[in-house]
Amino acid sequence: MTYPENIEQKLDFPILRARLEGLCESPLGVREAKAMAFETDYETICHLLNETEEMLHVQQDASLGFPDGGIHDISEALARIRVEGLYLDEQELYALRMTLDYAIRLEAFFRRLDTLRFPLLSHCTMACGSLQTIPAEVDRILDRYGQMKDSASPELARIRRELTRAQGSVQRAMQRILHEAQGLGLVEKDTAPTIREGRLVLPVSPAFRRKIGGIVHDESASGKTVYVEPQEVVEANNHIRQLESEESRERVRILTEVTDGIRPLVPDIFHTNQALGHVDFLRAKARLAAELKAIRPEVTDEPMAAWKEARHAVLYLTFLPQGKSVVPMSIDLNRDQRILVISGPNAGGKSVCLKTVALLQYMLQCGMLVPMREDSRAGVFRNLLIDIGDEQSLLDDLSTYSSHLRNMKQFLRMADAQSLFLIDEFGSGTEPLIGGAIAEAVLKSLNHQQAMGVVTTHYTNLKHLAESEQGMQNGAMLYDRGALHPLFQLSIGQAGSSFAVEIARQIGLGEDIIREATDLVGIEHLDYDKQLQDIARDKRYWENKRQNIRQKEKRLEERVAYYEQEIASLKQKRKQIVEEAKAEASDILQRSNATIERTIREIKEAKADREKTKQARAKVEHLKEEVKPKESAKVLRDLRDLKHLAKQMPKVSSAVANTIHTRKVSFVRTLDMRGMRADEAQEQLIAYMDDAIMVAAGEVTLLHGTGTGALKQLTRDYLARLKRQGRIVDFHDGDINHGGAGLTIVEI
């Protein structure tokens, strides 16, 4: 259930629905897009999300080859032919044939899908079993352009042959009559026969119509031309009209016969048509999800929201063509922290955050994928209650504040543990003191009713309430005090400042006015506001620090993974070397045995022949030299080194991590090369930069001085190589007040 009834307009959801309808390829898909509605049943929502996610993966995997084809809405034609005697014309039959052909191919495609990867789509059926013969039957009577073939029946072929002959005879007669009339000057030289009332006629001047002879069928609007059917072709044209009537009757007979065969299958065709419309709708949802970079979060049957980097979908689509980006937001609503109170400066993004929560939850429960990070989690709410914008009504005689109160009354009546409420500028529209008090009382009641919600406000009492009340938390829209502009970032955990004084100064309001205003408000209120600003500033500072640490830890982990991969590679090489060494040793042994046996045989055969015995001994000596462990020995020695390394492998990963940690602790961010020789400086530079990259130092300083410029050139050449390799980010001269060109700052 949603409240109020015009909730979609308040969330700009019609923009998304219109985009979805535009991505459909058929009226059937558009019809489903128009009918898409907010669901509250968990199983239904999961089913809608799952089949949309499957379709997204199917479309993203080009290797699957999703079939192309056309979907036509033939619902009205199918409904009409339920009446006996009515038939589908050629255009409708052709649309049916194209639709069923695509359905058959699509059903076959779905059946080929991996049932584990696509459990829903792989079981998608178009009920095409009984419809397989229809395309072939239509092809029997229609050509590829949807026109009836001459061969649709023997009678039709006979009629059309006779009709062609008759039309040719009339054409020849008309050309002869026209030529004679032109020779007599009765018609213009550029005159040609034309058709009037389905008959071939000549356009002539009224003065010469009697000389042509025949029947006048029409005249021009000006009366200067009449259209005469020469008497000579009247009978032939009558015969043509008769043949055309026969052709029409035979065409209707054929279409009726084919339609009679289709009529019993109309229920199955209806099902297939609806299934195709649903597939079209799913493809449109998947295409929209791809545009939004949307995903299916983990969905639970409990009311909750643990979203990470969520983006307002309509803003994202609007900003995309402009090259602008939407600042993402993260939010966590759960049983312990049910209500989030967002405060901060005007135009700082409070309302956008609120609408993002409302829009994405509405999208999710309509079965649409949502733009947020994949590790997000989302719940299902039975009620979605929204109070956004100006509800002033002249017809109902309601002021803005009265309409807000009416909404609060409905919220208090409807809200429970299954509800999500969203209220923009809570308490505004009336005198601040009483408005804030009523807002506080309503918020307490909603909290006690276990409802979840997000509200935006400027009221300090609501900020205090969120700080002290169990189940509630503050959230602040961040603001850059230095540049005096909003950051549009939501930070949960503290209240936000309105920055009213800073904004007043920025727009040039007089200091005397500002001083008087601060006196009226009181120093206590300003101190509280300043403390909020300081907390926001400090939190942003430590968030940045924490982010930098995370990045460095990630790079350190990548470096450890790199070394572990290198070790694995060495292990593989060791195995390969051992296998090659064994093979080589086996080959040498085989060749040695064969040579020795052959030499012994030759000595025996030579008996005491000294020369032959000497030659045989020489062969054996040569064999000894071959068998000596040259390369094989080197290989086997490398086998021993690797064996030793293999024993150390279990210790390597932790040793690498410990080494990196030790180097990081002792690492100095400055290298002084002044006074070194070029080769000494290069050696020191390479070693130092390796350590700096390994420990993810962030930024280091290299002192080389100015001198002859040789050390600086050597340093810059090496850094340029590291930058090309992607190992460092950039490098530049130092600050002019702190060494300038005599040092180089390196960003890692």
Residue 592 clears pLDDT 80, i.e. is over it: no
The number of beta carbons lying within 10 Å of the beta carbon of residue 55 is 25
Query: How large a percentage of the chain has pLDDT more than 70?
Result: 84
Q: Give residue 708's pLDDT.
A: 77
Average pLDDT over residues 162-188: 84
SS3 327: coil
Better-predicted residue by pLDDT, 689 or 258: 258
Better-predicted residue by pLDDT, 663 or 378: 378
Q: What is the pLDDT of residues 193-206, one digit of tens each?
A: 888 877 888 888 88
How far from chain centre, in Å, is Cα 283? 12
Query: How large a percentage of the chain has pLDDT more than 90?
Result: 46
Q: Give residue 148's pLDDT.
A: 96
Question: How does the average pLDDT of the chain come out, rounded?
Answer: 84
For residues 305 and 330, give the distance between their C-alpha atoms in angstroms, rounded to a whole number.
10
Quick one: CA dihedral 635, 640, 643, 645, positive or negative?
negative
Q: Give residue 645's pLDDT.
A: 43
Q: Where residue 48 falls among pLDDT bands split at 50, 70, 90?
A: very high
Listed range (165-169, 596-600, 623-627) with the worst mean pLDDT:
623-627
Q: What is the pLDDT of residues 654-713, one digit of tens each?
A: 544 565 666 677 788 898 888 888 878 888 898 888 888 877 888 999 988 887 788 888
pTM: 0.65
Residue 411 clears pLDDT 60, i.e. is over it: yes
> Which contiguous run of DSSP H or E holds residue 445?
helix 432-448
Residue 511 clears pLDDT 90, i.e. is over it: no
For residues 640 and 385, give the distance between their C-alpha atoms in angstroms, rounded to a whole number.
74
Better-predicted residue by pLDDT, 362 or 687: 362
Average pLDDT over residues 40-59: 97
Residue 146 clears pLDDT 60, i.e. is over it: yes
Q: Give residue 35's pLDDT.
A: 96
Average pLDDT over residues 515-522: 69
Q: Give residue 11's pLDDT.
A: 93
Phi-psi region of 721 (alpha: psi -120 to 50; beta: other; left: phi over 0): alpha
Average pLDDT over residues 300-317: 96
Q: Give residue 392's pLDDT.
A: 46
Average pLDDT over residues 151-176: 92
Average pLDDT over residues 122-146: 90
C-beta contacts of 439-446 below 8 A and 24+ residues apart: 440/465, 442/408, 442/411, 442/412, 443/339, 443/341, 443/472, 444/469, 445/412, 446/339, 446/411, 446/412, 446/415, 446/421
Q: Give residue 573's pLDDT.
A: 84
Better-predicted residue by pLDDT, 651 or 113: 113
Listed range (192-196, 268-272, 309-313, 736-740) with the worst mean pLDDT:
736-740
Q: Give residue 633's pLDDT.
A: 45
Residue 257 clears pLDDT 60, i.e. is over it: yes
Residues in the chain: 748
Q: Where residue 393 falls among pLDDT bands split at 50, 70, 90?
A: very low
- What's the token pair of residue 297? 């979060």
Listed range (161-170, 444-453, 538-547, 718-727) with the worst mean pLDDT:
538-547
For residues 626 and 604, give the distance between their C-alpha atoms in angstroms, rounded to a whole number.
24
Q: Where residue 190 falls among pLDDT bands split at 50, 70, 90?
A: confident
